[in-house]
Amino acid sequence: MSERLDLKNAAEALDAADPLAALRARFVLDDVTYLDGNSLGALPAHVPARVADVVRRQWGELRIRSWEESGWWTAPERIGDRIAPLVGAAAGQVVVGDSTSVNVFKALVAAVRMAQADGATGGTGAGGDRTGDRTGGGGDRTGGGGPVRDEILVDASTFPTDGYIAESAARMTGCTLRPLTPAEVPSVLADRGDRVAAVLLNHVDYRTGRLHDLPALTAAVRAAGAYVVWDLCHSAGALPVGLDEHGVDLAVGCTYKYLNGGPGSPAFLYVRRDLQARFDSPLPGWNSHAEPFGMRSAYAPASGAARGRVGTPDILSLLALEAALDVWDEAGVSVAAVRTKSLALTDFFLRCVEAYVPDGRVESVTPRAHAERGSQVALRCDDAGDVMKRLIERGVVGDYRAPDVLRFGFTPLYVGFADVERAARVLARALAD
């Protein structure tokens, strides 16, 4: 009993000292302990009124005029520029639209096309010589005279859709798909990197919460002359990414998790500035045409990040996302501060689980080391599906991944330390049942 009281007192003290605690009031929350922001973020309180304005005034009154007068047409790039600092990118390199799946497809096929074009020309294309062209290491893109780049490496434990798309992209581009763990990537690249065209990796493993070493893996891919595509779905808005700093080629991410954009909110695509002129999308559309209203039969790609667009953007979801991002701007929140709280929350949760849950009942599959942990904790137990149902019935919402993983996501903008202590305490009771 004294240990439980100590942890409750510790949670109260941590909440009292939390510089981000006031942000909780900016979200629509109730008495439920919500630890599923790694699947769907909570609703920012001001978003409904903003969406109502989009529907009633911009659509209802201005109608077609809103494409220009309300800035609908430029929204994909404008909102991309607001996401850019949250993933460590300068303006003009992120465009918002389509789903994560569609953007993974665009990025991966474009990566293969660039790698194969490098080999065909014996050069490095518009990006220039790769040696030393980034902070954190680089390498030449070797070309003519060498082996054909006909392999795609993909994270073997990736979210299933990424694997499906990688397999389709491999068939489409005449490549062989090689699933492997991120830890195996450097050795495979050292052994046969001259055959690799592209590497698709997850920054954070969706099941375990393991954070992979983006700087080192990116440098290894670049040194081998291949192109890297990072999936940032479980890191964007939760921790520093450093796309520009680490010379990432291409990246995609969703916006409905830690960015709180709403269910099905559009994803984003990052194309590093020096690669934009070479980005050859497998899904060219009128929105990415250099003259979208020219209605020409021949396709000519737009310049800049707009080259990543395809068709008419989903305006309602897009502008709900734009409103949700106000939380970051108006409160002056830094990703570094969010990361500091994220690690404190997950540390405290593990501490509470160890104190409350009987030994051997659950096993954490999330790494202890901060450098290897995202913003979630995954616990393995045999009856995970039933346990999560009991947790939800008692007001603690996480989620379950087959066959035996309980996932708890910690969104620092609105999750507090009292939430964490309560979740561990209720978990112990649910496991006892």
Active site residues: 159, 231, 256-257, 407
Q: Which helix (H) or strand (E) holds 179?
A: strand 176-180
Q: Give whole-number Cα distances, 233 to 137, 228, 332, in Å.
A: 25, 16, 22
- C-alpha to C-alpha distance for 57 and 104, rounded to whole angstroms: 34
- C-alpha to C-alpha distance for 104 and 202, rounded to whole angstroms: 11
Residues 3, 8, 10, 11: is their CA dihedral positive or negative? positive
**Contact predicate 324/260, CB 8 Å:** yes
* Phi, psi angles (nearest 5°) of residue 13: -70, -40
Q: Give whole-number Cα distances, 398 to 7, 113, 234, 281, in Å.
A: 21, 40, 15, 37
* Phi, psi angles (nearest 5°) of residue 366: -90, 130
Residue whose tokens read 């005279």 = 145
| Among 103, 192, 190, 119, CA closest to 152 | 192
- C-alpha to C-alpha distance for 327 and 259, rounded to whole angstroms: 9
- List, in order, residues 6 or more apart from 54 with CB less than 8 Å away: 70, 315, 316, 319, 320
CA atoms within 13 A of residue 129's CA, in its CB half-sphere: 2
Continuous H helices in 174-245: 185-192, 214-223
**Contact predicate 407/381, CB 8 Å:** no
